[in-house]
Amino acid sequence: DGGITQSPKYLFRKEGQNVTLSCEQNLNHDAMYWYRQDPGQGLRLIYYSQIVNDFQKGDIAEGYSVSREKKESFPLTVTSAQKNPTAFYLCASRPGRGQGRLSGEQFFGPGTRLTVL
Amino acid sequence: GESVGLHLPTLSVQEGDNSIINCAYSNSASDYFIWYKQESGKGPQFIIDIRSNMDKRQGQRVTVLLNKTVKHLSLQIAATQPGDSAVYFCAENLNAGGTSYGKLTFGQGTILTVHP
């Protein structure tokens, strides 16, 4: 089955530690995105990548870093510089305009809930 | 800055009723809009989308209406069922065109509760 996987589902981190969240997709999508969701709120864009080896900051990139070395993978690192990292993190992917799709729908993974202890 | 917002944060309906969830957007350049459904602890699921050159689009039990004059988007759910209970988000696509679709900006969300 094609889809997006995120791991782990739950993650606990001590203050001052960096942690990396995994996101993998086998949909052959060009673009990938990371969002943060706080309780009772919408999704805020952290980083996005429209092609391998390229990525751009979203609205709340401070304290986060990403890489896009492979088309299938877009890991997110939450660094110790992120002051309030406890949140639900969602990864998404989207086909590029040249991939034969007419819509701009983003496909979401199941999410990772990060808690800082 | 540009934003997408929702008029009602919560909506409570009886099973079988029709539901209408509203969304206001402020960027007249947005050319694509999506509605997502998110159940507790899960990722958002696509419901329906609409391009800015359309006023209405229908899916299975759902209809999206777009009023560009007042920058308003709505999601209508017919014969609402308890399984429809979730948070519903609208999103607009900014700076689309060229070789990419750009970014989606999400609204705050509306909590829909369907009572049996």
For residue B46 the two structure tokens come to 């696509």
Q: Do B112 and B85 touch, CB atoms closer than 8 A? A: yes
pLDDT digits (tens, 9 = 90+) for A44-81: 999 999 899 999 999 999 999 999 999 999 999 999 88
Please list the rounded mean pLDDT of every run of 10 residues in chain B (116 residues).
53 96 89 93 94 94 96 97 96 66 83 94
CA distance, residue B104 to nearest chain A CA (Å):
8
| Interchain pair B106, A43: CB under 8 A | yes
Model confidence at A95, in pLDDT bands (50, 70, 90)? confident
For residue B114 the two structure tokens come to 């369907």
pLDDT, residue B100, reads 53
Interface probe for A, chosen from B4, B103, B106, B111 (most Cβ of A below 10 Å), is B103
- Round to whole Å and give the CA distance between A99 and B114: 38
Tell me the pLDDT of chain A averaged across its residues: 91
Number of inter-chain CB pairs under 8 A, A vs B: 64
**Residue type for position A9:** K
Which position has the higher pLDDT, B17 or A101?
B17
Q: Are strands A87-94 and A112-116 parallel, antiparallel or unpaired?
A: antiparallel
pLDDT, residue B2, reads 37
pLDDT digits (tens, 9 = 90+) for A25-50: 999 999 999 999 998 788 999 999 98
Number of H helices, E strands in chain A: 0, 11
pLDDT, residue A102, reads 56
| Interchain pair B103, A106: CB under 8 A | no
| Interchain pair A97, B104: CB under 8 A | no
Chain B positions touching chain A (beta carbons under 8 Å): 32, 34, 36, 41-46, 49, 89, 93, 96, 98-109
- Round to whole Å and give the CA distance between B73 and A68: 34
Residue A86, pLDDT > 60, answer yes
In chain B, the residue whose alpha carbon lies closest to the alpha carbon of A4 is B43
Residues of B within 8 A of A109 (CB-CB) are 43
The DSSP output letter for A93 is: E
- For residue A57, report the phi and psi dihedrals to the nearest 5 degrees: -70, 145
Residue A113, pLDDT > 90, answer yes
Please name the residues in contact with B42: beta carbons below 8 A apart, sequence gap of 6 or more: A110, A111
Nearest to A42 among B42, B93, B106 (CB): B106
- Round to whole Å and give the CA distance between A3 and A107: 8
- Round to whole Å and give the CA distance between A45 and A34: 6
Residues of B within 8 A of A90 (CB-CB) are 43-44
In chain A, the residue whose alpha carbon lies closest to the alpha carbon of B4 is A42
Q: Could you tell me how far CA A47 lies from the centroid of its own chain?
A: 7
Q: Are strands B110-115 and A112-116 parallel, antiparallel or unpaired?
A: unpaired
Residue-wise DSSP of A24-78 = EE-S--SEEEEEEE-TT--EEEEEEEEETTEEEE-TT-TTEEE--SBTTB--EEE
Residues of A within 8 A of B99 (CB-CB) are 96-98
